[in-house]
Every structure is written in structure tokens, then in C-alpha cells.
Amino acid sequence: GKPPCSLAPVDPLKLKALSMGLSKELKILLIKIESAGRQTFNISEVEEQRIPLCKISIKNTATEVIRACKGTRVKGKFKESFVLPAFSVKPNIDIDIPIPREKLNPPTPSIYLESKRDAFSPVLLQFCTDPKNAVTVIRGLAGSLRLNLGLFSTKSLVEANSDHAVEVRTQVQQPADENWDSSGSAQTWPCESSRSHTTIAKYAQYQASSFQESLQEEKESENEEEGEQTSDQSATTKIIKFGTNIDLSDPKRWKPQLQELLKLPAFMRVESSNNMLSHVGHTILGMNTVQLYMKVPGSRTPGHQENNNFCSVNINIGPGDCEWFAVHEHYWEAINKFCEKHGVDYLTGSWWPVLEDLYSSNIPVYRFIQRPGDLVWINAGTVHWVQAVGWCNNIAWNVGPLNSYQYQLALERFEWNEVKKVKSIVPMIHVSWNVARTIKINDQDTFKMIKHCLMQSIKHIQILRDQLVAAGKKICYQSRVKDEPAYYCNECDVEVFDLLFVTSENSSKKTYVVHCEDCARAKSPSLAGVVVLEQYRIEELMRTYDSFVLVSNTS
């Protein structure tokens, strides 16, 4: 197979000219002058104003940004953050003042909707997305909106798609505020569960028989109370199975279920114009699609923040309850330290916080029960963990409301993931450009953050481009096609935007693999055998950048 574009031989003269440094140019403007009815031209010299790169800000035009890049000598790789700390909108939470014990269990904001109209009030969106509110429970939302949750009952699911895949986690059943180590002698953070697979029909059978067994046990224990105690129930460890990550993305298979969810207010829906996840341009399973969880008592979703700190929506279908624990984003680094201390990876491992550890570190924990029909809104960056109290199903997905707090936390986690070599499930640079192309932003903080990210993106692209050209590397333009996904480096999982470093893995199958610059150079320092593809013309990005402006609320 041929590489995507043929590599032309490098002209040594051109290389020499480029290596001699960037030539200065004198711009000549021809100015037309009318004088005594005759047109004459006046030649005027214009000195090119070049702003140094360090002085460039979002007030500058794309042309000025590009010009500053061209005038900068960058030794090695150019790397700057996409986040500007000066633009931060995080709430001020004083961590130095000790919180009295009774305040370490603050009441969870719970909203009772009087009417359907209340669900669609802008006040609800404001409340849920307020950076100070880590979590909001909307009580009985299903009832207020007349949502038919029966569509998600185990019986309905079996009737709809009995052979559908279910991921199973095998876990040890224990009280929600305990997590014992393997010897059973001390509380600990790591909580392991093994993974296997089954079908909806088979899990449904397990869920039902587990319920029947429990009824049977209750009956027996009532009988035992009259007679003698026969066995010490507490000594046996009970092993349970949790049916998780069931994918409800297929609109043909799950039509009535997905249609029912359109009754939700726009900001909670799986898809809406103000949701960043609706601007990814492709499916991210479980984030911009619905996932279902089938549970028996004790089923645990261990501690985590959502992918890229996005918000999440979770509805309990019932019939049983779930118990939730949540901590404000502000404390995530303290929790990360506990994970490190206990040898479990914060981002990718399974852990269940020991509440006493959190309280002794002055970290407040929200703890509440989610009943059937209750919707839990997890705000951006909130750390949370969940355990089923009864037998129940839950449905959940993510949303990315376009506000400054959500955008900032998503970008911060995007950069932290890169440091930790963890894939950012949301390609934030790709999403930021898509948002700039399609959405009018009227909030100043959000606008400044996105504009800054785009400016940093242009700088990275232009400087890298100039370095490649100066080294005589050919860049092949290959525009994007509809629904083309964002790209990630095959080695380090970082998002690769616009300039793709492509190698052909085997010539016969025509499989092309994308790398970031660093990983491509690690394989081949001179980039021999690497094709550089460019997905956007720089003029195209410049146009998007310049036309992305703050719009006033009135327009």
C-alpha cells in the first residue's frame, strides 16, 4: 500500500534559505489619490508590527498570533497550558478553618418540584450548576414529569433485549460505610472486584432469585427467633454480582426508553445544544449515550470523578433505594493523596473511602438516599461513590453544560490526564473548536476560557508547523470527513489535533496509526517513514478564531 501522500524530495536550497532565519519583509501599500481629476498612486511603507509571543493575549487577532509565532525562535518542543489560572472561577473554600464534627455531614441540597413547570425553570439549572453545590437531588422528578420508569424495569428490559450484553462485577457485600481488607481485620481504601460478562436475561434471573432468597432468609430468621439460633449469620461473607455498564445507545433497540427521556428539561437531556458532549461529533459510550445498571443490595460503584470532570445525571428506577456519598471537587487532591498512600490509582483504580479518614482531614461528605424516581445531579468534578440498599436498576449519562466552571474543570482534568498518561475520554481541543464554530457564547468567563484555549491551540499548531517545514518535512493536507472522530496517540493516549503523525503499520492491510509528535520521534527521531497530515488549513482555524466573539445577552 502507498502512504497517504507521496513524499517529495527535499530541495536543499529551500532548506538552506529557511535555516538562515526568517526574512523580514517590507510591506508596501499602494494608496490611490485623486488629484485634479487624475488618479495617482502614492507609495507608502508600512513597518510590520510584530508583537512578541509572550505579550500575545486573547485581545489579539489570529493574524497577530500567527505573526508572533513566526517571529519566535523555539528551542525544542513548544508546550504551554491551555488553562490560564488568572481566569479561574473556582469557589473559595477555606480549608484552614477546622469544621466542627457535626458539620462534616452537611445536608444534601434536595429539591421538591411542585409542578412540571418548576422542572423547566431556569432557576433549577442555575442551582444544579452552581459551583458551590457539589450534588443536588431532585426528589420524585419522575412523578413530576410523568416519566414512565417502567420502561427500564427488569421485566421490560428482558422483553426488549434479553440477549443484550451485561458486564458483571463480583463483589463482597458489606455495610455502605465499611470497606474491610482481605483479612477482615481493618478498614482500607482499595476495593477489588473481578469482571465477567453475561446477558440481561441471565442477570435478571440472578436479581430475582437473590430477592426470593432474601425473602426466604427473612422468613427463616423469624422462625429461628421463636426457636434456637442455628447459625451465626454475620461470620459468612456474602458474594454478590453487580450488572454494570449496560449500553442503551442503539436508538432502534431502545426506542421507547430513549424517547421517554426526552421529557426531561433540556439541560439534563442526553443531547442538547448547550451540552458540550453534543459537540463531540461522535458517540462516547456512557457519556453522550445512556447506560443502565442492574443491582442487588451491596452493589458498589467505587469512588470516582466523572470522565474529564463532566456532570452526570442518575435516575433510580427502583424498586429499592441507593445510598450516595459525595465530596466537593475542591477536595479531590486530598482524596488522591489517600489513594497514593494506600497504593491504589486515583484515576484508574477501585477505591472506597474510609469515612473516618475524610472526617479527620476536615473533608465534609454529603450522604443521602436516592429513592425510586429521584434524580441525582452530580456537578462538575464532584467525587462520589454509591451503594445499592435494595434491589434496583439505575440509568445514567453525562452532560457538559457550557459554563465557565464546567469548562475549566474539564480542561484542567484534560491536562492532568496527560501528565498521568490516562486517556481523556472527551477530546477537549476538538470539542472547543467545534463549540467556537457553532455556539454563540454570552457569558464572559466562559468566552475568555474557550478563546484562550483556541489561542493556545493555534500557537502549538503554528510553531510545530514551522519547525516541521524548517526541517524539510512535507505536510500533506487531508481535510476531515463528516463524523470523523477525534484522534488520540496510539502510544500515550493524548489527543492529537490537526497535525497527525501517521505511520503505516503493515503495508498489505493499509492500516494507518496516529501518533503525537513525541511518540513519533521516539520511534524515528528524524520522522523518517512518518507522514504528517494536516486536517485544517490554518486560515480556516484563523477564521473560526476571529469570528468567535462574545455576544451580548440581548442579541
Element holding 503 (H helix, E strand):
strand 499-504
Contact 373, 114 (CB under 8 A): no
Average pLDDT over residues 7-14: 48
Average pLDDT over residues 286-314: 98
Does residue 26 register a pLDDT over 90?
no
Confidence of residue 1 (pLDDT cuts 50, 70, 90): low
Average pLDDT over residues 252-268: 98
Predicted TM-score (pTM) of this structure: 0.90
Average pLDDT over residues 318-323: 98
pLDDT tens, 205-254? 999 999 999 999 888 888 876 655 555 545 578 999 999 999 999 999 99
β-pair type (110-112, 135-139): parallel
Confidence of residue 19 (pLDDT cuts 50, 70, 90): very low
Q: Which residues of 519-540 are buried (b: 16+ CB within 10 A; e: fewer)?
A: bbeeeeeebeebbbbbbbeeee
pLDDT at res. 93: 85
- Write the CA distances from 516 to 366, 404, 478, 534, integer angstroms: 41, 28, 17, 13
For residues 412 and 304, what is the distance between their CA atoms, to the nearest angstrom?
16
β-pair type (531-534, 475-477): parallel
Which residues of the chain does CATH 2.60.120.650 include?
Answer: 113-173+210-221+237-411
pLDDT at res. 264: 98
Does residue 376 register a pLDDT over 60?
yes
What is the assigned CATH class of domain 12-25+427-547?
mainly beta
Q: Which CATH number fits domain 113-173+210-221+237-411: 2.60.120.650, 2.40.50.140, 2.130.10.10, 3.20.20.70?
A: 2.60.120.650
Does residue 17 register a pLDDT over 50?
no
Other CB atoms closer than 10 Å to residue 320's CB: what's the count?
A: 18
pLDDT tens, 86-106? 999 999 887 778 999 989 999
Please list the residues that pair with 48 across neighbouring strands: none
pLDDT at res. 134: 98
pLDDT at res. 443: 97
pLDDT at res. 18: 46
Which residues of the chain does CATH 2.10.110.20 include?
Answer: 12-25+427-547
